[in-house]
Amino acid sequence: MLRQVRLFLVLTVLCLVGLGGIASAQLTDRQSEYYQSWVTTADRAESVIRVNRASNAALENLRSEINRYREDFNKARGANTDRLQTLESQLKALGAKPAEGESEPEDIAKLRAHLENQLNSLRVPRIISEEAFSRANGLISEIDRIIRDRQKKEMLSRGPSPLNPIYWGPAWTDVKEATRSLINETIKNLQTDVVHERIRERGLGIFVLMIISAVLLLYGRRWSEMGGAYLRSFGGQGSGVWTFVISLLRILLPWLGVLALVSAVVLTGVLGLRGTLLVQHIPYWAAIIFYFDWIGRQVYLMGAAQNFKRLSAGKIRELRVYIDLLALMLILHELALLFEQIENISDATRAVVGFPIILATALLLLRVRQIRQIEPQQAQADQDTTRRAAGFSQLVEFLRRALFLLGIATPVLAAFGYINAAEAIVFPAVKTLVLIAALVIVQRFISTVYGWLSGQGDAARDSLFSVLVGFALAILTLPILALYWGARETDLLEAWSRLLLGFDIGGVTISPSNFLTFVAIFAIGYALTRLLQSGLRNSLLPKTNIDPGGQNAIVSGTGYVGVFLAALVAIMVAGFDLSSLAIVAGALSVGIGFGLQTIVSNFVSGIILLVERPISKGDWIDVNGMMGYVRDISVRSTRIETFDRTDVIVPNSDLISGVVTNYTRGNTIGRVIVSVGVAYGTDTRKVETILGEIANGHPMVLANPAPSVVFQGFGADSLDFEIRAILRDVNWVLSVKSDMNHEINRRFVDEGIEIPFAQRDVWLRNAEVLRGENSPASASDSPTTETTSEPRSGPVDLTEADMDSGDGDEL
């Protein structure tokens, strides 16, 4: 019934798209057959989900099958996009369809009908694919929810307590029976003729593999050191790069030896089912041992590095032992899981076998936490290191606290019967801890390689490159951490598929593909813009007659236009449709206009400054009492370098709306005024002649217009003159003024002309007040009369009447 209803809905949709008839609306035979197969699979999946009795493995297989259909439908959704756009453009070129009752030329009507039929025939598979894709998405989500619920229920389920002595005897019996069965199975196989015949046939291969295994296990590390001596001949001595490569060879060659040994044992055929399953896991267990040992060795080698200065050599050796023991605990945990799969043991036996491993792992985590304690004699020496590596120290402190909580919580959970929950916490914590250590080691190695190649040495470890590498490695390890903590591979693939589909923001779909396309195109456009600016600034514009301010305006304008075009082209190539954001952009512009009006005003003012150029780079200006040279004009502000070599940042709106004095606008010609006074009775014509000679004799003074000497008037103490001259470069005004003053002084001395200075004789009334007289009678005494009275303490106040009355001033 559901299938019939669904087919009816599909046919209804086909009719709604405007097809000429059901016959023209049919899919191809192959497409129809594929769709019928999908409908059958989807109906079966809905029945399985509704009953909810299938195993997790069956659900995973069903999910994989549905996912294949979904990928095909997703491709069909985007098929024929270019052809559809072409047909829609053709229909648009024909104009609007005539209203009911109106007619159009027969040729145009036939062409329109033909184009509409083609358009509808292409839309049919897309519509069906869209419906099927949505249904597949829903089924996959339901299957994932069922599996997650089962995992959650299993992890939170409570089983028998391993501390109950009743379960110890049966558990020990199960372990002995499993060991005895493994040994008996191997001995029985070894006594069969089939195994003997197989050993004789494959004896040479088995012997060669065992020889290779023995050589790699015995001489692998020595060969690694020999290879390191050869690699160091390429350079980089002392950088630590080749030491890291050698450390990888030290674990790779012995692991290959283990793999060869396991292959030789499997070729003999002496192992039964239990032995084969056990031996197949040995390469993985050997990889765990070598990997953890490599981590411990790298920590030891980094003992003198910045991030590990808090650990002494003894502490580092102790940490290496704990790391190796943690590897052993992980292997025992894997062995316990394999024991449960092979022997189908009871929950009580599983709890009793797993509890000692959980307890030992938790205790090791607590010991790893304690080993990070600072030794008292090293605390003072590590203060600078702590300040330089504050972020790393915070991470280590967080890990220490997490290890403490895990070391306490997991044994308690296991003791109360929550074995699955305890194992789901403690063993992923061990893997996470080692993964973080590996992350730090790899980041340090990449930074070391960068420092060696760039010549920066150890300084590269604190560079921006090192930070970016760490960030990239952290992003790459997120899927691994998710797998450690219980995520399924299908969960990660589903998340990646959803990410590839993109997410909608205001009607604009953003996916990793178009986002990376946008970033790449914009980066290329930005780089080309900078190259063009550099070429204009250094090669082309200096060869023109454009002034420096104009050159700066052209370079800045080119940068703004280039960045705008780069963003526009990147948006077009990436395929972003921003038409749906028009309303949002309008509302945002209003908000910007009110909330950021000052910034917008400065931005517009900066554009005006670059286009109109009332001031230019290098101009000498005075704005709001601040005088200096314009060093840079940006879209928001202008940087002025004052004469005391300080930078003043002036908003562009102040330069446009305020009063600005530009001393060098258009040219550097400016006027200098030098004032001087001579004593009364001096020959004024002689002074005028001398000052004219001084002005005309200075090389910075222009002859046209000629300098002038002005007799300003009769001052209180002198006859005032001024030299007014036009300079070639007003930037030298202070130097010219100083030179002229020196020359004036020399010539006046030679000619006997006096430059007067003011002298004052001040007569004070009631001088006895200043002398501290107390009696009224003493007021009539002479100012020079001596008195024996003590002076009054405190200041003496003089009024304007005291200063104005009396004889007054006398020159």
Among 121, 139, 156, the domain boundary falls at: 156
Among 662, 683, 716, the domain boundary falls at: 662
Same domain? For 723 and 747 the reply is: yes
Among 643, 662, 681, the domain boundary falls at: 662
Contacts 24+ apart (CB under 8 A), 209-214: 209/260, 209/261, 209/263, 209/264, 209/267, 210/260, 210/261, 210/264, 212/257, 212/260, 213/257, 213/258, 213/260, 213/261, 213/264, 214/257
Tell me what pLDDT residue 710 has: 93
Count other Cβ atoms within 10 Å, centred on residue 784: 7
Query: Is the model's pLDDT at 506 over the cut of 60?
Result: no
pLDDT tens profile 22-78: 333 445 677 788 888 898 999 999 999 998 888 888 999 999 999 888 888 888 877
Tell me what pLDDT residue 747 has: 92
Q: Is residue 280 part of a domain?
A: no
The rounded distance, in Å, linking the Cα atoms of 361 and 355 is 10
Measured in Å, how far apart are the chain's first and last C-alpha atoms?
126
Same domain? For 684 and 800 the reply is: no
Q: Is residue 634 part of a domain?
A: yes
What type of residue is 378?
Q
Q: Place 577 in a pLDDT band, splitting at 50, 70 and 90.
A: low
pTM for the predicted model, two decimal places: 0.66
Same domain? For 645 and 688 the reply is: no
Residues 6+ apart with CB under 8 A from 198: 267, 268, 269
Lowest mean pLDDT among 26-30, 354-358, 687-691: 26-30
Alpha helices by DSSP H, 632-675: 652-657
User: In percent, how much of the chain has pLDDT > 90?
Assistant: 15
Same domain? For 633 and 685 the reply is: no
Same domain? For 648 and 701 the reply is: no
Q: What is the extent of the structural domain holding 789? A: 767-804
Q: Are 510 and 578 in contact (CB under 8 A)?
A: no
Q: Is residue 345 part of a domain?
A: no
Mean pLDDT across 771-794: 45
Alpha helices by DSSP H, 29-167: 29-51, 56-77, 81-93, 106-156
Q: Is residue 523 part of a domain?
A: yes
Q: Is residue 390 part of a domain?
A: no
- Measured at the CA of 301, the angle between CA 295 and CA 305, to 5 degrees, comes to 110
Same domain? For 607 and 715 the reply is: no
Mean pLDDT across 122-139: 86
Same domain? For 572 and 683 the reply is: no
Q: Is residue 322 part of a domain?
A: no
Residue 743: which CATH number? 3.30.70.100
Q: Which of the two residues, 39 and 624, has the higher pLDDT score?
A: 39
Q: Place 466 in a pLDDT band, splitting at 50, 70 and 90.
A: confident
Q: Is residue 78 part of a domain?
A: yes
Q: Is residue 331 part of a domain?
A: no
Same domain? For 707 and 633 the reply is: no
Name the average pLDDT for the chain.
79
Same domain? For 727 and 773 the reply is: no
Q: Nearest-CA neighbor of 375 among 309, 321, 433?
A: 309
Same domain? For 715 and 635 the reply is: no
The DSSP call for residue 99 is P
CA dist list (Å): 282 to 19, 180, 254, 484, 702: 64, 20, 13, 20, 97
pLDDT tens profile 668-684: 788 899 999 999 989 99
Give the number of domains in the chain.
Answer: 4
Same domain? For 656 and 521 the reply is: yes
Mean pLDDT across 225-251: 70
Instruction: Return the CA Rg of the chain.
Output: 46
Q: Which of the two residues, 61 and 453, has the higher pLDDT score?
A: 61
Same domain? For 541 and 686 the reply is: no
